[in-house]
Structure 1
Amino acid sequence: MQDINRVILIVLDSVGVGELPDAGEYGDEGSNTLGNIAAGCGGINLPHLSGLGLGKIDGIDYMPIPQAVSGSYGRMAEVSKGKDTITGHWEMAGIQLEFPFPTYPDGFSQEILDRFQKLTGRGILGNCVASGTEIIKQYGREHMETGKLIVYTSADSVFQIAAHEEIVPVDELYRICQIARDMLQGENMVGRVIARPFTGQPGDFSRTANRRDFSAQPTSDTILDKVQEKGLEVIAVGKIEDIFSGKGITQAEHTKSNMHGVDVTLKYMKENNNGIIFTNLVDFDMVYGHRNNAGGYKQALEEFDARLPEILSAMREEDLLIITADHGCDPTTPSTDHSREYVPVVLYGRNIKADVNLGTRKTFADLASTLAEIFETERVFPGDGFYSLIKK
């Protein structure tokens, strides 16, 4: 019998731990999401993550280290070109991208817009790089009066469509986004088309929890496919299903917040399943990182840490918990975009060693290779697995 038959993989979306050597190429010198939050907010209290070894990761010298550390730990560097959600998640699942997804700092071309309008039968407002909350303030009234769609992008490879739920029902917005997803291929294959529904009245608009991402299809099989092929479960919590466009997923449940994501993860942990429970907690990035809200980010981290004992208590003998991130989004820098950073990796399980420093991994794909070792799947991924270093 395998020593580990289930992995709970939790991605703390955007919780980077220091700039990568090539951060300057991305305009991210000085970015350190976790470190700068701790420095700028009078410290940060994460006793349970510290107990698993977070404070012993290379480059983290601002957190207390308990006498006994019960987990193993390290940090991972990204080799793929980019610093977005899909690029980070795909690499940890085994896909290294040689070319970044296209971005549109000046908005989308007239050719793209003309085709989109022809396919949807609706006009367009915006077409610029913008904050999602600001653009609905700017164009929300006109959208409600005309029915035109608010289209915008960011520093990421995204085609975002905002619409009021009373003007464009959510299901209709999803249908429109699927049209855009099918249209944006080839040289214009954006990483994600994102539905951004909102409600309210002019001067008091608010985005709803009905966001949905329509991602590019993974360019090859991932560890999720290999685990599924073995007849095991791959349960996606949060936006994981969207990130992988459903590929390699056996069950999925979308979530409305970090704490809802923890609740759903615990629900699946208490069921009789083997394989991977793969969770993304997006509030760190979406609610706090992109809005440069360092205080809120700190509080969200502390709230997750306070839930960690519940997760540890729900673990079975043959479970392995892995906590990591997909990129940075430093709320203390002038930029509101993602940042090119190392990400932490912290592991805990009764069948792995404690207090093993995995050092700096050269690629997020080391994680895919490690899971291939654990589940004894075909080992076709780049990177070096580290299961042998932590296996008891």
Structure 2
Amino acid sequence: MQMGVGAQPVDVRSQPAAEARPDRNSGLDALRAVMTLLVLFHHTAITYGASGGWFYHEVTPNGSLSSHLLTMFVATNQAYFMGLFFLLAGYFTPAAFRTKGSWAYLRDRLLRLGVPLLLFGLVIGPLTVALAGLASGHAFWPTLLALWQRGRFIEGPLWFAEALLIFGVAAVPWLLLSQRSTAPQATAARFPSNTTLAILAVLTGAAAFVLRLWWPVGTSWHGLQFGYFASYVVLFAAGCLAARPRWLKRIPRRTARIWFGIALVSLPLLPLSAGVWPPGPTNSSDGGWTVPAAIYAFWEPLVAWGLILLLLVVFQRRYQHLVPRWQQLAARAYTIYIIHPPVLVGLALAWRNMTAPPLLKFAVTGIATCVACFLLAGLILRIPRIQKIL
């Protein structure tokens, strides 16, 4: 599973043109805030026994019930929540480009995405690695200094900022062409049909399967796991295309219900396939010409489409106005995402010698991390001018 799964920089101000859109969408603000907290629980699950890449593993995957449950939790998250962040980022990109212009848009992306990426890669990432090393008996300061001396750049969860920066730059030619287009505003365009969504899911699954022949799940290049990028590219592009007709605000409830039903039916197929084809060198689901790899590749978009559509409908219906606490969480979400790795690792280390069931530790550490990051983010955002970046 991909480290960072979020995450994303998820504060509304970190998304392209959150500040540029005329009508604030409280439902999407709330959804991004909740998904940010889910990122924290996602990494907590890996800490206590789920499969996946993370800085610190107190419990390694061991075939126990708790390990299986946490792995399924992580796999389900991975199927949709980073894709959801890319969808939302793409949705706000055209408005940012129109409002700022090309050069100001690019400067804004470098500031809001590039600066946090550098900060994490050079400071927070090495600090987290050194902190995690305490569990193996490595001294903190010598480890940190060694990482700096070797020039280690650790993307960690900020791979998302790196990817979004690439996507944002790559989208500029299309944005320039669409800006010059004389086509009428397609605000009345119909939402894509179920057939279109199904074809898109199949094509996304096929692309993921092919990508994983070269880049199996778990392999990365500068923090980017290309095996997951089929859905990321598709959903970012879909977000850009959905901006003009505002499709995310006009999702038919029937469509959301149908695809959520498909997601529910699809969810058990992954663990069932593992029972039929036990994991091993010839049955890897991470990539290759194997049945489990094909099932995993096509399973992801079926689950993703259903959960994403349902969440978009539910949150926009439920959160039409945000109370102050929700507004605070939305404003701090990006900062929470950036700072959560050392906070989570530190809290997990603080009670690693206490005996408790992994699921209990998962719940307690996850909640404590959310609270600690929320409070710490509030303090950080009081620093003068920091809000121009965060």
Query: Where on the TM-score scale, by shorter chain, does this alignment land: which range?
Result: under 0.3
TM-score by length of 2: 0.27
